[in-house]
């Protein structure tokens, strides 16, 4: 078996045989030119090949500039990377609006294609969360993304969603003319494990799940990293709490996109080869504390 860091999850996208690296590098909240260059230098050197960004992160341009320097340094080509970006909520809408948003991301990143493009949020910007207009706009958006995907021949090699709940997913799946999302990127960690219904819907539709907030993010204030169960398991295997959390997500069949601006942590987060036992997984699954750290998509109509 290849090491976990070189493992890929097959995507269901029509017209392609794409695979998603199981570990990627997240860039949320990293919006400084110099920091982007430094962290991507460490990440590519460590072996990361998936870079996750979004229009609202305001760092796509800096990623382009960094890659112009770093690809030659590491003897890499664009096709060696898997780049994900996401549509901003304000850009939900008709074909003209969505196409322009995609083109902005392509231009900002200096690439003719994206390996994966996600609808970042099921709600549209500047519209009340409970408005039925959200449903109408996100469905229009999805139809345009399907055109830009063009059966694998377009500028979007794979298309997916982020923060979609069961009701949002079922909306897409109910229309037989729709492409099934390749990926749903969602909050997932021991304190917020998503519902069995959610996992069933994604599994049946062959939607790959990608976790964000694996270690709690800034809102988590290190509560996951300090959790008693997580640290007991970390000590048992002589690994870090972060490595336990990331490996747990992988063994729960999630891809991961950990983020750090610290060189040592970037490297450690990529080293998740230590397999957790069934008992370890069960103990983490059964942690009683429940807490959601990120946004709540359930409120979006």
Is 120 within any annotated ligand binding site?
yes
**Identified catalytic residue from 28, 48, 57, 254:** 57
Name the DSSP letter for residue 158. S
Return the H-helix or E-strand segment holding 87. strand 82-87
Tokens of 138: 């996100």
One digit per residue, the tens of pLDDT, for the chain of length 301 reads: 678 888 999 998 766 668 999 999 999 999 999 999 999 999 999 999 999 999 999 999 999 999 999 999 999 999 999 999 999 999 999 999 999 999 999 999 999 999 999 999 999 988 999 999 999 999 999 999 999 999 888 999 999 999 999 999 999 999 999 999 999 999 999 999 999 999 999 999 999 999 999 999 877 789 999 999 999 999 999 999 999 999 999 999 999 999 999 999 999 999 999 999 999 999 999 999 999 999 899 999 9
Going from the N-terminus, what domains does the chain have, and what CATH number goes with each?
A: 19-293 (3.20.20.100)
Largest CA distance in the chain: 55
Closest CA to 177 of 12, 14, 10, 11: 14
The residues, any chain, with a CB within 8 Å of residue 38's CB and separated by 6 or more, are: 261, 263
pTM tops 0.95: yes
57 is catalytic: yes
The residues, any chain, with a CB within 8 Å of residue 236's CB and separated by 6 or more, are: 280
Strands (E), 28-154: 50-52, 82-87, 116-119
122-125-127 Cα angle (round to 5): 90
Residue 28 φ then ψ, to 5°: -60, 135
């Amino acid at each position: 078996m290849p090491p976990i860091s070189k493992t890929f999850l097959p995507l269901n996208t029509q017209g392609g045989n794409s695979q998603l690296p199981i570990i990627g590098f997240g860039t949320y909240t990293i919006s400084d030119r110099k920091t982007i260059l430094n962290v991507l230098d460490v990440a590519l050197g460590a072996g990361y090949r998936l870079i996750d960004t979004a229009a609202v992160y305001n760092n796509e341009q800096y990623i382009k500039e960094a890659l112009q320097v770093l690809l030659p340094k590491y003897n890499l080509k664009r096709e060696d990377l898997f780049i994900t970006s996401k549509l901003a909520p304000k850009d939900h809408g008709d074909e003209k609006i969505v196409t322009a948003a995609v083109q902005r991301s392509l231009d900002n990143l200096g690439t003719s294609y994206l390996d994966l493009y996600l609808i970042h949020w099921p709600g549209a910007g500047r519209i009340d969360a409970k408005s039925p207009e959200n449903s109408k706009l996100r469905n229009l958006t999805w139809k345009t993304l399907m055109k830009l995907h063009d059966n694998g021949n377009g500028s979007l090699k794979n298309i997916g969603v982020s923060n979609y709940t069961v009701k949002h997913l079922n909306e897409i799946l109910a229309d037989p003319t729709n492409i099934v999302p390749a990926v749903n990127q969602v909050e997932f960690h021991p304190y917020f494990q998503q519902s069995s219904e959610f996992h069933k819907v994604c599994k049946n539709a062959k939607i790959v799940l990608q976790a964000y907030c694996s270690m709690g993010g800034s809102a988590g204030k290190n509560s996951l990293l300090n959790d008693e169960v997580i640290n007991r398991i970390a000590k048992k295997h002589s690994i870090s709490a972060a490595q336990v959390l990331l490996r747990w997500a992988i063994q729960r069949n999630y891809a991961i996109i950990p983020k750090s601006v610290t060189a040592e942590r970037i490297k450690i987060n990529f080293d998740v080869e230590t397999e957790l036992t069934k008992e370890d997984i069960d103990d983490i699954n059964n942690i009683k504390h429940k807490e959601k750290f990120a946004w709540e998509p359930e409120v979006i109509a």
